[in-house]
Structure 1
Amino acid sequence: MPPLGAAGGATGHGLHAVGGKVLSKIRPTPEGVVYHRVDLLGSKPHVGQAKSMDRFVARQAEHAADNPNALFEFDVLGRAKPGPQLDRLEEFHIRQLGGPTNKSNPNGLLANKRHQMSDARYKAAGGDY
């Protein structure tokens, strides 16, 4: 058998080698993005989601346009399939980072105004507390 990359090898056929083993299927990166927005000038951070990397890039521009006096930095917290999995991942980070700031939680640590999921929906989706 010729080495990978040689004529007749796996190159160009969707096969990849890892540790000397040929893998026929590599799991693609999930499309959805959960992100953390931090204002370097001091306003509260925000956790959000976008259904694709293209939408994440557009969302950054929207945040900047909505807050012209802010200087934002964005970090990807995780990736998940859009839908309940992406909602659960966003909700996990909202809870871990101090929760939204609203009437029922005036001391929340995030600029988010609401949770992404109710307690019941979060638990049903496999969320942990």
Structure 2
Amino acid sequence: MTIVVAYADTPPGHAAVTAAVAESRGGEAVVIVPAVRDERVPDVAELEGRWPELAGRVEVERGDLGDPSDTVIQVSQRLDARLVVLGLRARTPVGKLVFGSTAQRILLDATCPVLAVKPSVAGP
């Protein structure tokens, strides 16, 4: 099976990859998909350097759709993903109304389970 990660180079995106590593079983593939339009996604070597547990089983995919949430959903359906993992960030209610939410669209439209994670907050 496969785990798809909605990735952005942000603390929530890093938390999503870390959670995918923790959730993966054995040699299960982890597929990284940009969750932000025009996001630079690290190549496989960079990902394996940051998360050595992914060595030999991480892939990077870009969909052909303009909307990042549609792309994550399309890739997860095409690969028959077992799980989609995404990172959440704090947004104000007005921010959600005006800009929409990629995470919300993925949560509502994905055809497989979705694991939503927050980055850890360093305490004093």
Between 1 and 2, higher relative CO (CA 8 Å, sep ≥ 6) is seen in: 2
Richer in helix (by share): 2
| Rg comparison, structure with higher value | 1
User: TM-score w.r.t. structure 2 length?
Assistant: 0.34
**What TM-score comes out, normalization by structure 1 length?**
0.33
